[in-house]
Chain A
Amino acid sequence: MIYVCYGAFFIAQPAKGFNGGAGETARIVFFHVPVAVLSYIAYCVGAWHAISVLRARSKPGLAGRNSDADRKSAAAMELGFVYCILATITGSLFSGAQWNSYWNWDPRQISIVIMLLVYAAYLLLRSALSDRTDRRAELSAVYCLLALVPATFLIWIVPRLPWLMSLHPTEVLAQPKNTSLDYKMVLYPSFIAFFMLFGWMLQLRVRMMRLLSRG
């Protein structure tokens, strides 16, 4: 993590292909892209545990696992919410520096904002169910999985809708000649670092929830 923070500012050569300045703004990619990817992966983790919440239902002996899977699912969704906000903010900062406008209704911006709404709705449902803990695990798992259809569309379809024009520099970055070796040397560890950070935060949150429910 420290390496990434240091590397983002001092090691990597600015990426080519970004107009205006020397591509200094591309440094935010080290933070923005992993966070944005994780904000969707968090949903996948949440949905995965939601499935095991529902599967445990048909086997009464697994009632204990049920509540643990529920905690994991909820923790992943909470983190997804946080990462979604971070991705929105970092993306907006980049957009402001690059195009002089913090918000362009870019399809990916729309996607992430709707994803943010879905996360918020999930958390709202959980807090609305706080007095019905016997049903909370299953009902919130159902909502989490129900969001599977919109989430699939948000990740794969919406950014490609012909009706919406994207400004995202995906292609610019994907071309090998535009980025130097040391740029990649920071970007890939950055992914690993953020993934590890996510896993660590998830574990921490689950343990915290376990302790709270015991007390």
Chain B
Amino acid sequence: MMSGEVNLKVCDLSHSFEERQVFAPVSFALKGGEAGVVSGANGAGKSTLLRIIAGLLLPKSGTAEILFGEQSLNAEERRSQIGYVAPDLNFYRELTAAENLQFFAEMQGRILTKAEMIEALTHVGLRGRGRDPLRTYSSGMRQRLKYAWVLLQKAPILLLDEPTSNLDAEGTEIVKEIIAEHRSRPETLTLIATNESDELGWGDFTVMLRQTL
């Protein structure tokens, strides 16, 4: 397990697809216990920024570092430390909810007990639906299941891209609780990418992404 204080440092980071730059270089830092919000117009590169931080995409210039104490994590190491929720993150439709969760857990060398599974599913309001294949789920239910995995994964870093997309009022409340609970611990940090006016206030500060012309 990683030890030491968790820190996220983003330094002069920018990315471009082909020749077009997605966003102007940004720099910010997050300490343990803090939460940040990233906002910006459609196409300003919120999702791209989160993907880079998650180690899923190589930036064209600048750096995004995740530090535990003095130790900087490489792309592969950081993935197990990150709970990631995004609209384009899809689970396996042929598998049931329980099988999906079990698969992710086994990839990290854990076996989930039935009690753990039920607790997580109950938490996100999917109790009793664990044995249904995901293709029978609605988009809101699939979004809830992503949070079930976040709860089970217990990662110190949360990256949430449009955290409440497809969710109803009750689902939004659950997400709010999860974020609040996560923030209450000092060894964690949270980064949210959103344009919803309610959610802009969820962080300690806001990073605005601007497109370059």
Do these two chains interact? yes
Q: How far is the CB of B49 from chain A (nearest CB, A)?
A: 15
Q: Cβ of B60 and Cβ of A63 under 8 Å apart? A: yes
Residues of A within 8 A of B59 (CB): 60
Residues of A within 8 A of B58 (CB): 57, 60
Q: How far is the CB of A140 from chain B (nearest CB, A)?
A: 16
Q: How far is the CB of B18 from chain A (nearest CB, A)?
A: 5
Question: Does B61 sit at the interface, judged by CB under 8 A?
Answer: yes
Question: Does A133 sit at the interface, judged by CB under 8 A?
Answer: yes
Main secondary structure of the interface of B (DSSP, over half): loop
Q: How far is the CB of A68 from chain B (nearest CB, A)?
A: 15
Q: Cβ of A134 and Cβ of B18 under 8 Å apart? A: yes
Q: Cβ of A133 and Cβ of B18 under 8 Å apart? A: yes
In the complex, chain B residues 1-54 whose Cβ is within 8 Å of any chain A Cβ: 17-18
In the complex, chain B residues 34-90 whose Cβ is within 8 Å of any chain A Cβ: 58-61
Closest to B58 in A: A60
Q: How far is the CB of B99 from chain A (nearest CB, A)?
A: 31
Q: How far is the CB of B17 from chain A (nearest CB, A)?
A: 6
Q: How far is the CB of A141 from chain B (nearest CB, A)?
A: 15
Closest to B17 in A: A134
Closest to A59 in B: B58
Most buried by B among A57, A60, A61, A133: A60
Q: Cβ of A60 and Cβ of B17 under 8 Å apart? A: no
Closest to B60 in A: A63
A118 to B59, CA, bound (A): 33
Q: Cβ of A60 and Cβ of B60 under 8 Å apart? A: yes
Q: How far is the CB of A69 from chain B (nearest CB, A)?
A: 16
In the complex, chain A residues 52-90 whose Cβ is within 8 Å of any chain B Cβ: 57, 60-61, 63
Q: Cβ of A60 and Cβ of B61 under 8 Å apart? A: yes
Closest to A132 in B: B18
Residues of A within 8 A of B17 (CB): 134
A27 to B212, CA, bound (A): 63
A57 to B58, CA, bound (A): 8
A133 to B61, CA, bound (A): 18
Residues of A within 8 A of B18 (CB): 133-134
Residues of B within 8 A of A133 (CB): 18
Q: How far is the CB of A93 from chain B (nearest CB, A)?
A: 45
Q: How far is the CB of B44 from chain A (nearest CB, A)?
A: 19
Most buried by B among A57, A61, A63: A63
Residues of B within 8 A of A63 (CB): 60-61
Closest to A133 in B: B18
Residues of B within 8 A of A134 (CB): 17-18
Q: How far is the CB of B94 from chain A (nearest CB, A)?
A: 27
Closest to A63 in B: B60
* 11 interchain pairs, CB-CB under 8 A: A57-B58, A60-B58, A60-B59, A60-B60, A60-B61, A61-B61, A63-B60, A63-B61, A133-B18, A134-B17, A134-B18
Interface, chain A (partner B; CB < 8 A): 57, 60-61, 63, 133-134
- Further 6 A-B residue pairs, CB within 8 A, beyond A57-B58, A60-B61: A60-B58, A60-B59, A61-B61, A63-B60, A63-B61, A133-B18
